[in-house]
Amino acid sequence: MDHSRINNRWPMAREGIPFIIISAGLLLIVLLAALYYASVIAGLAFVFVIYFFRDPERTPASDSPASVLTPADGRILEIVHIPENHSPTGLPAVKISIFMSVFNVHVNRMPLGGTVQEITYHPGRFLSANLDKASKENERNEIAVQATDAGKIVVVQIAGLIARRIACWVEKGDHVKAGQRFGLIRFGSRVEVYLPPETRITVQVKQRVRAGETVMGYLRDRGIEGLRKG
């Protein structure tokens, strides 16, 4: 587990430091060269890089142990029931897909607390992340978590048309907490969560959500104290 990134106290993700240095250097060069129009473009690029890699603190909207937090900022693309032969959990599941534009915070957070069982990387294409086929054809990283008293869930980081780098800061065997940072995808992408089919979903398609803050749903019939009844 990369504690320096997971417990980040900076206002931006450490993954962005090289990009900030490069964009700042470029801005300095064009300013020294007195290239007005180029300096405007370089200045905008510098501001955008800082904005893109921002990493704000988040407070969950619910502290119930049964609540499932959103793993990514963005817009809900779809909520569908998946049969076991198409689910990375190996069981029937509810899949929730979230699209992150280049204007969203790109630091990903854990939906639930538990233990990381497996991390599986799949090379692939770089189709636009808002396309359905991006789920299976794009480069992606699957993180299986055995949630406390809640069965197995899988979070999938999916690269997009511009995104070419998936960062995962946890490892197999790590114990994670709900809302904890676990990774980042650069420059527009998609994150999916596979939950037990009996989960009571509380978000809707097209809804805007915030990682580690918005509650996507509540687990059912798993013997968890504090479970909300639907």
Q: Annotated active-site positions, please?
A: 189
CA angle 216, 198, 137 (to 5 degrees): 65
Instruction: State the Cα–Cα distance between residues 179 and 167, nearest whole angstrom.
Output: 17
Instruction: State the Cα–Cα distance between residues 178 and 110, nearest whole angstrom.
Output: 5
| Residue 113 Cα distances to 78, 144, 145, 150, angstroms | 24, 12, 8, 10
CA 53 to chain centre: 13
C-beta separation of 211 from 105 below 8 A: yes
Per-residue tokens: 198: 């009996």
Helix axes 17-32, 36-52, angle to 10 degrees: 170
User: Which residues contact residue 207 at a Cβ distance below 8 angstroms, ignoring those fewer than 6 apart?
Assistant: 75, 76
Q: Which of 105, 103, 99 is nearest to 12 (CA)?
A: 105
b/e map of 48-62 (b: 16 or more CB within 10 Å)? Answer: ebbebbebeebebeb
